[in-house]
Amino acid sequence: MKVLINPYRPAFSSTRMRSYDADGNVVNCNYTNLNREDLDWAKFAGFLASRYKNEKNVKINLFGCSDGSDAYTLVLNLRRELGPEAQKFLPIEASDLSFEMIKEANEGKIYLHSKDLDYLRKIGADGDFERDYGEKTKIMRGIEFFPYKVSPKLRKCVDFSVKDIRKASSEDDFSNQVVIFRNGWTFNTLNDQDKIAKNLFKNSSEKTLVVIGQSDLFKSGASDALQRNGFSGIKSEIFTAKETNYPSKSIGQPLTKPVYPEFILFENRRPHEQRIYCY
């Protein structure tokens, strides 16, 4: 497969860095921003606290982390909702395929736009990010993106590394852990999506939680693949369904309608044992 790199290169939060194959399919995209609204992050933090209340330490694996926006959003909400108890979930293990993205994340660099900054002020977390006046503001699609540095206190709550979920899902043990891979399934072929789901189930336990994103429902077969390979969907108010679909073509889009009900939270549990969570 020939991969073409988009010469338009936005780099960080709320930006788009895409790679295409010869047919114009998107095979990689580092689009993200703080507080992606398909999840109620405060409720998600409460859900984790309840689900793992008897565990001393819980590892959170976040694949396809881009600049760390999802990871930082989760950390901020864990600290806000759980107080000192948040420490049992930290540091989050965040990874991405992009060496360049991880290098910048490890340096604590991030670009934020006005909506990101409004969100930080709303939750009282604007002090966790400091304006970096040594870097230039970027104008992308008519929007200003301001360079910031993540505070050392917040930065140490996330460990960044280069990792491929296709390999990790087959080699790592995710028993009693959280696996977050949001809005990136569509950049894997349907066959690879099935392999990832199968391996995650094989290497998980009853307490394992798998989290995907709303874009995965629009653009991939992730929900079906996870349920087809043994996972059960979790009904929860955590999913807000506030994100909209976007017009693009990628390598992992199914050609048929979903077979199973659509979820974004999954556990290793038989369907008849399915539970409903309200937060």
- How far separated are the first and last CA of the chain, in Å rounded? 44
Over residues 133-190, the pLDDT tens digits come to 999 998 877 889 899 999 999 999 999 999 999 999 999 999 999 999 999 999 999 9
> What is the C-alpha to C-alpha distance for residues 277 and 257, in angstroms, rounded to an integer?
26
Percent of the chain with pLDDT over 70: 85
The amino acid occupying position 163 is K
What is the pTM (predicted TM-score) of this model?
A: 0.87
> What is the C-alpha to C-alpha distance for residues 42 and 109, in angstroms, rounded to an integer?
24
The amino acid occupying position 104 is E
Sequential DSSP letters for 5-24: E-S----STT---EEEETTS
Query: In terms of Cα–Cα distance, which of 194, 192, 199 is closest to 174?
Result: 199
Beta-strand pair 26-29/60-63: unpaired
pLDDT at 261 over 90: yes
Give the number of other Cβ atoms within 10 Å of residue 57's Cβ: 10
Over residues 208-257, the pLDDT tens digits come to 999 999 999 999 999 999 999 999 999 999 999 998 887 778 899 999 99
Q: How does residue 35 score in pLDDT terms, banded at 50, 70 and 90? A: very high
Question: Which top CATH class is 3-277?
Answer: alpha beta
Over residues 117-135, the pLDDT tens digits come to 999 999 999 999 999 999 9
Domain ranges of the chain: 3-277
Tokens of 249: 């073509």
3-state SS class at 142? coil
Query: In terms of Cα–Cα distance, which of 7, 23, 89, 19 is closest to 55?
Result: 89
- Could you tell me which residues are beta bridge partners of residue 140? 143
